[in-house]
């Protein structure tokens, strides 16, 4: 399945990159609010670490024109979709608020202690520098996706592999342009939570993630530029031996 | 009303609802925004690169485990759980993209610029990197391999540009001033020192 978020090598998106080396992080105040609200809400709803897989999947499901609008609009529409699915927002509630109608009765509300805990957790990282042990060990464990596994890796550095011929429906971190293509394992990043499953709310065992190198010619054939290579991290279940 | 006004109104409505439901505390949102506008940015990454240029033992640690090495300078947090430093050499030029979304090493580069998140950059960089780099002002010689890193899982890549010639006498701060955001994404090289 292709989604428009899977953009690598898709000529329909080609065009000039409007590049500004000094571009600021935000261009309008609404962008600031969307960014801050999304980061905060993620902390409240997922005290054990933000669920970026579900957040990305939500963004992949919004209408194409919303996805291609100024960047943080994608975050807002994705956040709204996630909150509706979890019944934090009711359908039509945002429109009613815009129209100045009275709030809809009922609806879920976070306990005050939960909001306060998220605020406290945010306070720990909102500093110019953070203590070394926290940055090196605690934060990656708390918010990162890496997990331990007792299983042995299926592949090792140097193995010739091929990306499986089908791209999963739903959320996946297997780009379309690598699908079915031959590559070589150049690194093992250890095991991590499996994004495809987490985005769908399925439990799943951690999977090894490998860095795979693809020669430009294997990806693009005759059109490839000389002496180019793409390296990308791929979950074990995306790969087959060749 | 402009499209931006319409967006601003919707965002305001959503924020007010989230505040009522306890999903957001607006004062903390202010602090989050302030943090990412002022505390976190490419200057962090430039300090890391300058240190790697001047301290061979740090360079080794950075290339071996980016997250642990940048933590020595106090950098870390969201989108920094697995920072991977990749070094440009006379043989290989590295450049970073995220074709599936907009993965970016926040603790060392701050939030990504719009062009990095654009459909044009995401679609083209994996397929025609030399042409795109050329349009962006960087002609990579044919004698150098171009290696494109597509951030798709945990790793967030930081390019360590080559140290420019004639910088032997410069201190850490002067060296850091040569390291632009673009050079740590890989769409530029480090600036030459002004004589």
How do residues B127-185 score in pLDDT, each as one tens digit? Answer: 999 999 999 999 999 999 999 999 999 999 999 999 999 999 999 999 999 999 999 99
B10-49: pLDDT as tens digits = 999 999 999 999 999 999 999 999 999 999 999 999 999 9
Q: Are A200 and A171 in contact (CB under 8 A)?
A: yes
The H-or-E segment that residue B45 falls in is helix B42-54
Q: Which of residues 1-30 of A touch B (CB under 8 A)?
A: 5-21, 23-30
- Exactly one of B16, B26, B81, B101 is catalytic; which is it? B101
Q: Of B152, B149, B48, whose CA–CA distance to B108 is shortest?
A: B48
Task: Tell me the CA distances in angstroms from B182 to B48, B75, B116, B178, one per residue in order.
Answer: 15, 19, 10, 11
Residue B68 near chain A (CB below 8 Å):
yes
Smallest CA–CA distance, residue B170 to chain A, in Å, is 24
Mean pLDDT of chain A: 94
Domains, chain B: 3-38 (no CATH), 41-185 (3.90.330.10)
Burial (Cβ within 10 Å: 0-12, 13-18, ≥19) of residue A94: buried
Burial (Cβ within 10 Å: 0-12, 13-18, ≥19) of residue A129: middle
Predicted local distance difference test score (pLDDT) of residue A2: 59
pTM for the whole thing?
A: 0.96
Query: Do B25 and A40 make contact, defined as CB atoms within 8 angstroms?
Result: yes
Q: Are B46 and B40 in contact (CB under 8 A)?
A: no
Predicted local distance difference test score (pLDDT) of residue A15: 98
Domains, chain A: 11-109 (1.10.472.20), 160-241 (2.30.30.50)
Q: The complex's ipTM?
A: 0.96
Q: Are B88 and B160 in contact (CB under 8 A)?
A: yes
Integer Cα distance of A222 and A232 in angstroms: 21
Q: How many CB atoms lie within 10 A of CB A187?
A: 15
Q: Which of residues 87-126 of A touch B (CB under 8 A)?
A: 88-89, 93-94, 97-98, 103, 107-112, 114-115, 118-119, 122-123, 125-126
Of the residues A40, A183, A196, the best mutation for testing chain B's interface (the one with the most B CB atoms within 10 Å of its CB) is A40
Of the residues B76, B180, B191, the best mutation for testing chain A's interface (the one with the most A CB atoms within 10 Å of its CB) is B76
Residue B121 near chain A (CB below 8 Å):
yes
Mean pLDDT of B108-130: 98
A4-13: pLDDT as tens digits = 899 999 999 9
Higher pLDDT: A228 or A123? It is A228
Predicted local distance difference test score (pLDDT) of residue A198: 93
Q: Are B44 and B73 in contact (CB under 8 A)?
A: yes
Look up B98 and say whether it is catalytic. Answer: yes
Mean pLDDT of A95-111: 85
């Amino acid at each position: 399945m292709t989604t428009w978020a899977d953009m690598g090598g898709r000529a329909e998106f080609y065009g000039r990159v409007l590049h500004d080396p000094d571009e600021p992080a935000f261009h309008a105040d609404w962008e600031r609010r969307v960014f801050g609200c999304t980061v905060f809400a993620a902390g409240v709803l997922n005290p054990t670490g933000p669920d970026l897989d579900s957040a990305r999947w939500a963004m992949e499901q919004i209408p194409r024109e919303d996805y291609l609008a100024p960047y943080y609009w994608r975050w807002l529409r994705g956040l709204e979709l996630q909150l509706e699915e979890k019944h934090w927002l009711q359908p039509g509630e945002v429109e009613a608020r815009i129209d100045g109608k009275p709030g809809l009765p009922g609806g879920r509300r976070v306990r005050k202690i939960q909001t306060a805990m998220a605020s406290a957790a945010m306070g720990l990282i909102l500093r110019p520098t953070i203590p070394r042990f926290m940055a090196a060990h605690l934060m990656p464990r708390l918010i990162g996706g890496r997990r331990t596994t007792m299983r042995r890796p299926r592949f090792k550095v140097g193995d010739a592999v091929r990306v499986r011929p089908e791209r999963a429906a739903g959320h996946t971190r297997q780009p379309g342009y690598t699908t079915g293509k031959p590559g070589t394992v150049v690194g093992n990043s250890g095991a991590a939570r499996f994004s495809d499953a987490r985005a769908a709310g399925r439990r799943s065992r951690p999977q090894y993630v490998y860095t795979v190198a693809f020669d430009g010619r294997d990806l693009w054939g005759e059109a490839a530029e000389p002496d180019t290579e793409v390296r990308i991290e791929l979950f074990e279940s995306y790969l087959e031996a060749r | 009303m402009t499209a931006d006004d319409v967006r601003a109104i919707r965002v305001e409505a959503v924020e007010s609802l989230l505040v009522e439901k306890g999903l957001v505390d607006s004062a903390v949102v202010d602090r989050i925004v302030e943090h990412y506008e002022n505390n976190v940015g490419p200057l962090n990454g430039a300090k890391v690169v300058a240190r790697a240029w001047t301290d061979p033992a740090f360079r080794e640690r950075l290339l071996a485990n980016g997250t642990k090495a940048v933590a020595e300078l106090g950098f870390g947090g969201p989108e920094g759980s697995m920072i991977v430093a990749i070094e440009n050499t006379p043989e290989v030029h590295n450049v970073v993209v995220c074709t599936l979304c907009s993965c970016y090493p926040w603790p060392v580069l701050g939030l990504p610029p719009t062009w990095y998140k654009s459909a044009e950059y995401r679609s083209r960089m994996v397929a025609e990197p030399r042409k795109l780099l050329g349009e962006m002002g960087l002609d990579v010689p044919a004698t150098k391999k171009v290696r494109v890193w597509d951030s798709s899982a945990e790793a967030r890549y930081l390019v360590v540009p080559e140290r420019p010639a004639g910088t032997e006498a410069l201190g850490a701060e002067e060296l850091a001033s040569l390291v632009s955001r673009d050079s740590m994404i890989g769409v530029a090289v480090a600036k030459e020192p002004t004589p």
